[in-house]
Structure 1
Amino acid sequence: MKLVKIEAHGFKSFADPITLRFDGGVSGIIGPNGSGKSNINDAIKWVLGEQSSRELRGDNMDDVIFAGSKIIPAMDKAYVTLTFDNREHLSKFEEDYISITRKITRNKGSEYFINGEPSRQKDIKMIAMETGIGKSSLAIISQGTVAEIAEATDEQRRGIFEEAAGVSKYKLKKAETERKLEKTSQSLSQVKTIINELERQINPLKKQAEKAQLFLEKTEQLKNVEIALLGRDITVGTEKLNVLTEKLRGVDETKADYRKRIDEYNKKCSKLSIDISDLRRSINEKNGKITALRESYNALSIAVEKEKQRKELIASGQLRSNNSERLSALKDLIETSKHQLKTYEEQLSELIAKRDEFEKLNETLREEKRRIELDKNEKNKKKIEIETNIRILKQQKETHSNLFKGTKTILDNQRLFKGYKGLVADLIEVNSEFHTAIDTVLNNATQYVVVRDSETAVEAVNFLKKNRGGRATFIPMSSIQAKSVRDDHLLAIQGYPGFIGIASDLVKYAPEFKLLAKFLLGNIIVVEDVESANKISEIIDKKYMIVTKDGDTIRVGGVVVGGEKINNTNSLLGIDEQILKLENLLPQINEYLDAKENLSYDISNKIEQLFRNKNEIDKRLVSISEAKKNIERQNIEYSNELKNLTTEEIKFNDHVSDVNVVDIEVVKYKLDEIESSLKVDYALLERYESDFSRYTSEKSELESLLTDLIQDYSDDSTKFELTKRSLENDKFRLTNYYNLTHEYVLANYVLEIDPEKAREFVDKTREEIEKIGNVNIESIEQLNIIQDRYDLIKKNNDELEEAKETIIATIAEMDKLIITRLLNIVHDVNKEFDEIFRTMFGGGSAKIYFTDKNDILNSGIGIEAQPPGKNIKNLKLFSGGEKSLIAISLLFGILKARPLPLCILDEVDGALDEANVVRFAEYLQSLKNKTQFLVITHRHGSMSRMDNLFGATMQKRGVTTFFSVELAQAKTMVDDVKVEQQ
Structure 2
Amino acid sequence: MYLEKLELQGFKSFAQKTVMEFPVRGQRGGSPGIAAIVGPNGSGKSNTADAVRWVLGEQSIKLLRGKRAEDVIFSGSASLARLGFAEVALYLNNEDKKADIEYEKIVIKRRVYRSGESEYHINNAKVRLSDIQLLLAQANFGGKSYSVIGQGMTDAILSASPFERKNFFDEATGVKQFQIKRESAKAKIKTTEENLSQVKSLIRELSPRLNMLEQQIEKREKRAGLTKELAKLQLEYFGSLWCETTKKLRALLDKKKDIAKNQLSLTKKLSELQNILQKLEKEQKAAHLGDYNKVQSGYYESVTQKNELAGLLAGLTRELAVLLEIEKTHPSKIDGEKLAEAARSQINLLSELAKAETLEAFHSLKPKVKKLHSELTAILNEKQPATRPTAEKITRVREKITSLKKELEQADSMVKEKQNLVDKLRNAESKATTNVFETQRKYQEVQRHLNQVVSEKNQIDVELAKVETHKQDTEEQLAREVAGALHEAIKNYHPHTPAEGSHVSWEKIAHLKQDLEMIGGIDEHVESEYAEAKKRHDFLADQLRDTESALAKTKQALAELDTTIAHQFNRAFEQIEKGFSEYFKTLFSGGSAQLVRYTQSELETLNEDIVAGLTKKEQEQLAANSKTGIDIKASPPGKKVNSISMLSGGERALVSIALICAIIRANPSPFVVLDEVDAALDEANSERFAHILAKLSQVTQFIAITHNRATMEQSSILYGVTMGENGVSKLLSVDMEKAVASIAVSKKLKVNI
Answer whether TM exceeds 0.5 for this pair: yes
- Partners of 1:11 and 1:230 in 2: how far apart? 95
- Would the aligned equivalents of 1:943 and 1:967 in 2 still touch at CA under 8 Å? no
Is the CA contact 1:154–1:851 (under 8 Å) kept in the aligned structure 2?
Answer: no
Name which of 659, 665, 684 aligns with 1:915.
Answer: 684
2:613 is matched with none
Q: Following the alignment from structure 2 to structure 1, what is the Cα–Cα distance between the partners of residues 168 and 217?
A: 69
Q: Contact 2:199–2:540 (CA<8 Å) still a contact in 1?
A: yes
Distance 2:167 2:574 in 1: 16
Mapping 1:12-161, distance limit 5 Å: 12-23=12-23, 24-107=32-115, 109-161=117-169
User: Once the 2 structures are TM-superposed, how far is the Cα of residue 233 of structure 1 from its aligned partner?
Assistant: 4.3
Once the two structures are superposed, what CA deviation does each residue of 1:480-501 show, in whole Å capped at 9, x if it has no partner? xxxxxxxxxxxxxxxxxxxxxx
The answer on 1:267 being equivalent to 2:271 is yes
User: Does the Cα contact within 8 Å between 2:164 and 2:629 map onto a contact in 1?
Assistant: yes
CA change 1:709–1:118 in 2 (3 A) is closer
1:851 partner SS: strand
2: CA distance, partners of 1:16 / 1:942: 28
- Specify the code of the residue in structure 2 equivalent to 1:918: E
Q: Distance in 1 between matches of 2:146 and 2:674?
A: 9
Asked if structure 1 preserves the Cα contact closer than 8 Å seen for 2:89 and 2:110, the reply is yes
How big is the shift at 1:686? 6.5
CA distance in 2, matches of 1:222, 1:916: 104
Post-superposition offset of 1:944: 3.4
Distance of 1:712 and 1:252 partners within structure 2? 7
Q: Secondary structure at the match of 1:732?
A: helix
Matched, 1:808 2:562: no
Question: Match of 2:231?
Answer: 227
Secondary structure of the structure 2 residue equivalent to 1:756 = coil
Structure 2: distance between partners of 1:86 and 1:711: 119
What does 1:151-300 correspond to in 2, within 5 Å?
Answer: 151-199=159-207, 205=212, 209-210=214-215, 212-284=216-288
In structure 2, the CA distance between the partners of 1:254 and 1:799, relative to structure 1 (3 Å rule), is same
Which residue number in structure 2 is paired with residue 945 of structure 1?
A: 714
What letter matches 1:805 in structure 2?
Answer: A
Q: Specify whether residues 116 and 191 from structure 1 end up closer, same or farther in structure 2 by C-alpha distance, changes over 3 A only.
A: closer
Deviations 1:92-122 (A, max 9, x none): 3344332222223321522233333333333
Partner SS state of residue 859, structure 1 = strand
Alpha carbons of structure 1 residues 702 and 200: separation in structure 2 relative to 1, 3 Å:
closer
Structure 1 equivalent of residue 660 of structure 2: 891
CA contact (8 A) 2:239 2:493 kept: no
The one-letter code sitting in structure 2 at the alignment partner of 1:821 is Q
Q: 1:82 to 1:748 in 2, by over 3 A?
A: farther
2:454 partner amino acid: L
Report SS of the residue matched to 1:73.
Answer: coil
3-state SS in 2 of match to 1:225: helix
| Structure 2 match to 1:667 | none
Structure 2 partner of 1:9: 9
- Residue-by-residue CA offset, 1:172-216 (whole Å, 9 max, x unaligned): 11112211112222222333333333345555x26xx52x44543
Tell me, what secondary structure is at the counterpart of 2:482? helix
SS at match of 2:14: coil
- Secondary structure at 2:97 match in 1: coil
CA contact (8 A) 2:635 2:641 kept: yes
| Aligned match of 1:729 | 477
Give the deviation of 1:963 after TM superposition.
0.6
What corresponds to 2:546 in structure 1? 799
Alignment match, 1:630: none
Residue 712 of structure 1, CA deviation: 4.9
Amino acid at match of 2:221: E
Whether 1:694 aligns to 2:694 is: no
Residues 649-798 of structure 1 aligned to structure 2 (within 5 Å): 690-715=438-463, 717-735=465-483, 740=485, 742-743=487-488, 755-756=502-503, 762-769=509-516, 785-798=532-545
3-state SS of paired residue (1:822): helix
SS of 1:863's equivalent in the other structure is: strand
Q: CA deviation at 1:229?
A: 3.8
- The answer to whether the 8 Å contact 1:224/1:749 transfers is no
Counterpart code for 1:10: G
Do residues 836 (structure 1) and 586 (structure 2) align?
Answer: no
Give the distance between the partners of 2:545 and 2:669, measured in 1 at CA. 44
- For the 8 Å contact 2:598–2:628, the answer to whether it is kept is yes
Matching residue's letter, 2:598:
T
What SS does structure 2 have at the residue aligned with 1:56?
A: coil
Deviation at 1:231, TM superposition (A): 3.6
Once residues 748 and 100 of structure 1 are traced to their aligned partners in structure 2, the CA distance between those partners, rounded to angstroms, is: 91
In 2, Cα distance between equivalents of 1:749 and 1:10: 104
Pair 699,261 (structure 1): closer, same or farther in 2 beyond 3 Å: farther
CA positional deviation for 1:155:
1.4
- Are residues 1:863 and 2:610 paired? no
Cα pair 1:230 1:730 within 8 Å, conserved: no
Tell me: CA distance 1:190–1:222, structure 2 relative to 1, closer, same or farther (3 Å).
closer
In 1, the alpha carbon distance for the partners of 2:255 and 2:210 equals: 67
Once the 2 structures are TM-superposed, how far is the Cα of residue 820 of structure 1 from its aligned partner?
A: 0.4
CA–CA separation in structure 1 for the residues paired with 2:217 and 2:14: 81
Letter of the aligned partner of 2:561 in structure 1? M
Deviations 1:650-706 (A, max 9, x none): xxxxxxxxxxxxxxxxxxxxxxxxxxxxxxxx9x98766544432322221232343
1-side partners of 2:469 and 2:494: how far apart?
27
SS class of match (1:28): strand
- CA distance in 1 between partners of 2:642 and 2:234 (Å): 107
Residues 799-822 of structure 1: per-residue CA shift (max 9 Å, x gap): 222222122111111111110011
Distance 2:35 2:130 in 1: 29
Change (3 A) 1:685 1:757: closer
SS at match of 2:719: strand
- Residue 747 (structure 1) shift: 9.1
Alpha-carbon distance in structure 1 between the residues aligned to 2:546 and 2:560: 20
TM-score (norm 2): 0.69
Name the SS for the 2:503 alignment partner: helix
CA-to-aligned-CA distance 1:487-521 (integer Å, 9 cap, x gap):
xxxxxxxxxxxxxxxxxxxxxxxxxxxxxxxxxxx
1:962 and 2:731 matched: yes
In the TM superposition, 1:336-735 aligns within 5 A as: 690-715=438-463, 717-735=465-483
Give the drift of 1:880: 1.3
SS of corresponding position for 1:13 = coil
After superposition, the Cα gap between the structure-2 partners of 1:740 and 1:933, relative to the gap in structure 1 and judged at 3 Å, is same
Q: Distance in 2 between matches of 1:966 and 1:809?
A: 53
Number of aligned positions between the proteins: 578
1:901 to 663, 670, 673: 670
Q: Go from structure 1 to structure 2 and tell me whether the alpha carbon gap of 1:749 and 1:707 turns closer, same or farther (over 3 Å shift).
A: closer
Shift of 1:721: 3.5
Which of 586, 592, 598 is equivalent to 1:851?
598
Do the aligned partners of 1:10 and 1:75 also contact (CA within 8 Å) in 2? yes
Distance 1:743 1:181 in 2: 68
Deviations 1:955-976 (A, max 9, x none): 23310001125889x9xxxxxx
Residues 199 and 228 of structure 1, relative CA distance in 2, 3 Å threshold: closer
* CA distance in structure 2 between the aligned counterparts of 1:54 and 1:234, rounded to whole angstroms: 97
How far apart are the structure 2 equivalents of 1:857 and 1:89?
36
Q: Is the 8 A contact 1:25 1:932 kept in 2?
A: yes
Q: Given residue 179 of structure 2, which amino acid in structure 1 is its aligned partner?
A: K
CA 1:37–1:245: 2 relative to 1, 3 Å: same
Distance 2:496 2:519 in 1: 26
Partner of 2:703: 934
Instruction: Kindly provide the CA deviation profile for residues 615-668 of structure 1, in whole angstroms up to 9, marking residues without a partner as x.
Output: x9xx99xx9xxxxxxxxxxxxxxxxxxxxxxxxxxxxxxxxxxxxxxxxxxxxx
